[in-house]
Structure formats: structure tokens, C-alpha cells
């Protein structure tokens, strides 16, 4: 179990927004406790998401507790109960399984705690869903695959059912296949076993050996794409196969920009921005303001060509070239201070 408090969350972090200008309970922000209860934490995406949560919590001046279940569904549910026992005012549930988190989220709501959920459907009208529009993440990547390869190709597909964002991306894959009968799924595989990329690479090696006609890999999670790329590179197929993914990080940018990299496109939001939006949505709820049932952070297509043409080396460069990566005008209010850039 991991239980840490984000440091330095004082009134000084409020900047130009003074405590006197804040609605209750943020007029005394140091007394506001929120918890982030995580299911997935391995990989650059999740570290960046955590950074966004921490920075927005720091800007608000609240006490943040981070509880990390490391993909243990039962432990994640127990951690929600622990957060309730700690007397937190609000909880962010980050990923997880519906069957284990549905009842846990309801227990928090019953305790009078405000809850938001990122990329896990807890099937509760009182809990807003923070989303990257996962359907669009999948569809935009597949639209690019069709633009690059036509509407007739043999594909490998990396998928683990039961994870809300992957299930929503799977809807796009099924629709694209139905609309384009020339697209053939030669193999579906995938795992979330740690380390995810290496575990997927082990599977992908066998898939590539058994299906030499695969020319496209749809891997709609960057850790999946990393694993596929390892296997493709080892097989010397990097000029014969194109990889399409979702999510982005500095490490992903580097991998996409390697000479003759098979990873040609991804669709993403800035995970740090999604983390910030998660905290702001929870803050609005704690202040008694109305939020949407679905809080969507819009995604952007990022191609290998764009990265090379603009000499993008890291997430900071990407934010400069794509301003929407620096901030999403979602769940904002005049009284909510934004993190320092």
C-alpha cells in the first residue's frame, strides 16, 4: 500500500487567488482533504496524470492523499474504504474494474463524500466520469490507419476487456471493421501484467511469427504500443508494419521518432491536463457547483510526420506546438487557480 501526502500545499500556492475569494470549503483549503485511489500506475501516462493531480491540488492548497493499489482490484476497493475512514472530503477513482469499484464508490457517496471517476465506469449518477473521449481516441487512430493503408489490410489488435477506456476504444475498432470488410483481424492479444510493455512484447513475438501477413497493429494504449514495437523491431519488420496507438509521453515521442520507427501515429490528450481536470471537477462539486455527468477532455492526432517536421523532442515541445496540450478549458471557474506553467 502506498499512502503519501503531496508536499508544499499551502496558501502560498494560491497565487493571485486569495482564500477570502474562495467559496467554502476552499476558504480554508488546508482543511480540505482529497484522495486519489489508483488502479493503474505503471508507465509514463500514469506518472504524468499523477503529476497533474498533484499540481492542481497544490494550486488549490488542499491536502492530497495518494493510495496506489497496483492493479489489485480488491485492494483498490479497500483503499476507498480507507479514504472514507480518513475523513476525506472528496475522492478521485483512477481506473479500475466496474465490478469492484461500483459498490466502493456507492459507499463513499453514502458517506457524504464527493466522488469523480477517471476511466472507470462505477455506474453511479452521482459520480461524474472524467474521460479523454476514448471512443474518439480509437476512431481517430483508426481513421489515420485507413488514410495510410487504405481500407483493406490485415491487423493485429491489442486489447484487454473489462477496462473502461479500452472497452470504449474497442467500440471504435468494431465499428471500423464493420464499415470496412477488407480489414481483417488476424489476432487479438493483450495483457496488463507488469511490466506491461515487456509482457505485451512476449505475446506480440508469437503473434508476428504466426501471422506474417500482418501489416497494421492497432495498440490503443501506449504501453501496448511500446510492447508491439519491441517485437516488431526484434523481428526486423519495422518497415513492414505500422503501429497506431493512443496516449503519448516523452518516451513515446522518442520511440516514434526513431529512424524507420513502425510507430507512426497516436491520439492523445496530455495526461497531466486530465489529472488537473479531475481535481478541478472534484473541487467544483465540493463547492456545490453543478458539473456535467461526463467531463470530456478532447484528444488530438499526433503523427510521426508532425513530430519530425516540428522537431518535437518531449511533452514540453509538443505543448508549444499544440497549445491544447498545455491546458484544457474544462471544469474551470474564476475562483480555481491553475497550476503554474
pLDDT exceeds cutoff 80 at 7: no
Task: Give the single-character DSSP code of 20.
Answer: G
- The answer to pTM > 0.85 is no
- What mean pLDDT comes out for the span 67-90? 97
Q: How many CB atoms lie within 10 A of CB 314?
A: 12
Dihedral sign from CA coordinates of 314, 316, 320, 325: positive
Instruction: Judge whether residue 8 has pLDDT over 80.
Output: no
Provide the pairing of β-strand 129-131 with 114-118: parallel
Whole-number CA gyration radius for the chain: 20
- pLDDT, tens digit, for every residue of 196-254? 999 999 999 999 999 999 999 999 999 999 999 999 999 999 999 999 999 999 999 99
pLDDT at position 95 is 95
When pLDDT is averaged across residues 184-191 and rounded to a whole number, the result is 98
Beta strand extents in the chain (DSSP E only): 2-5, 33-38, 63-68, 90-94, 114-118, 129-131, 153-158, 183-189, 216-219, 242-246, 263-268, 294-296, 300-303
Amino acid at each position: 500500500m502506498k499512502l503519501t501526502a503531496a508536499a508544499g500545499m499551502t496558501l502560498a500556492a494560491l497565487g493571485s487567488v486569495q482564500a477570502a475569494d474562495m467559496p467554502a470549503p476552499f476558504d480554508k483549503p488546508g482543511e480540505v482533504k482529497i484522495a486519489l485511489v489508483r488502479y493503474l500506475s505503471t508507465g509514463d501516462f500514469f506518472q504524468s496524470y499523477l503529476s497533474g493531480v498533484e499540481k492542481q491540488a497544490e494550486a488549490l492548497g488542499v491536502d492530497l492523499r495518494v493510495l496506489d493499489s497496483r492493479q489489485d482490484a480488491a485492494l483498490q476497493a479497500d483503499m476507498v474504504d480507507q479514504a472514507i475512514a480518513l475523513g476525506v472530503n472528496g475522492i478521485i477513482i483512477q481506473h479500475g474494474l466496474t465490478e469492484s469499484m461500483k459498490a466502493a464508490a456507492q459507499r463513499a457517496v453514502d458517506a457524504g463524500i464527493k466522488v469523480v471517476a477517471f476511466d472507470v465506469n462505477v455506474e453511479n449518477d452521482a459520480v461524474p466520469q472524467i474521460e479523454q473521449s476514448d471512443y474518439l481516441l480509437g476512431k481517430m487512430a483508426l481513421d489515420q490507419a485507413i488514410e495510410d493503408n487504405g481500407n483493406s489490410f490485415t491487423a493485429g489488435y491489442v486489447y484487454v476487456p473489462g477496462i473502461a477506456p479500452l472497452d470504449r476504444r474497442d467500440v471504435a475498432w468494431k465499428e471500423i471493421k464493420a464499415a470496412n470488410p477488407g480489414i481483417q483481424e488476424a489476432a487479438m492479444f493483450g495483457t496488463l501484467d507488469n511490466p506491461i510493455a515487456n509482457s505485451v512484447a512476449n505475446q506480440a513475438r508469437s503473434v508476428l511469427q504466426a501471422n506474417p501477413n500482418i501489416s497494421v497493429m492497432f495498440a490503443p494504449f501506449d504501453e501496448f504500443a511500446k510492447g508491439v514495437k519491441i517485437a516488431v523491431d526484434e523481428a526486423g519488420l519495422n518497415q513492414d508494419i505500422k503501429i497506431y496507438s493512443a496516449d503519448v509521453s516523452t518516451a513515446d515521442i522518442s520511440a516514434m521518432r526513431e529512424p524507420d520507427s513502425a510507430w507512426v501515429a497516436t491520439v492523445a490528450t496530455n495526461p497531466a491536463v486530465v489529472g488537473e481536470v479531475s481535481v478541478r471537477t472534484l473541487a467544483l462539486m465540493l463547492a456545490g457547483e453543478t458539473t456535467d455527468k461526463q467531463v470530456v477532455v478532447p484528444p488530438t492526432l499526433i503523427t510521426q510526420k508532425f513530430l519530425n517536421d516540428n522537431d518535437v523532442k518531449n511533452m514540453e515541445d509538443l505543448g508549444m506546438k499544440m497549445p491544447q496540450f498545455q491546458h484544457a478549458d474544462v471544469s474551470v471557474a474564476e475562483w480555481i487557480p491553475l497550476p503554474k506553467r
